[in-house]
Amino acid sequence: NAGVTQTPKFQVLKTGQSMTLQCAQDMNHEYMSWYRQDPGMGLRLIHYSVGAGITDQGEVPNGYNVSRSTTEDFPLRLLSAAPSQTSVYFCASSYPNSPYNEQFFGPGTRLTVL
């Protein structure tokens, strides 16, 4: 299994540009989520999905959109990039809603917005 994969690894955008961060998992996990991590900080939840066709907002959803058309993929879209969105983005997945299931994280996408 490849686990959780994210592309690209690095990205530089100009203010106002849009882009999509890709996330895929091959473990048949129902639950997927996106986090951002700012320098010296912990991870903050952006959006999450408990299955195909179902998404919900996390702690910091503004400026981001998500959709979940398949179990495997959970892309994160930046609609109009801003310097405040400069961060490292992590995707994670786990088995369905359960308080004891571990989450598997991808390697991250480092995004810089100029």
Partner 1 sequence: DAKTTQPNSMESNEEEPVHLPCNHSTISGTDYIHWYRQLPSQGPEYVIHGLTSNVNNRMASLAIAEDRKSSTLILHRATLRDAAVYYCILRFTGNQFYFGTGTSLTVIP
**d(C-alpha 103, C-alpha 34), whole Å:** 12
> Smallest gap, in angstroms, from Cβ of residue 23 to partner 1?
11
**d(C-alpha 37, C-alpha 72), whole Å:** 23
CB atoms within 10 A of CB 3: 13
Q: Is 43 near partner 1 (CB under 8 A)? A: yes
- Which of 17-25, 67-75, 78-86, 96-104 is the region at the interface with partner 1 (rule: CB under 8 A)? 96-104
Of 12, 41, 54, 114, the one binding partner 1 by CB under 8 A: 41
> Smallest gap, in angstroms, from Cβ of residue 87 to partner 1?
13
- Helix/strand/coil percent split, the chain, to 5: 5, 50, 45
**d(C-alpha 100, C-alpha 88), whole Å:** 26
Q: Is 90 near partner 1 (CB under 8 A)? A: yes
Of 16, 97, 112, 114, the one binding partner 1 by CB under 8 A: 97
Q: Is 58 near partner 1 (CB under 8 A)? A: yes
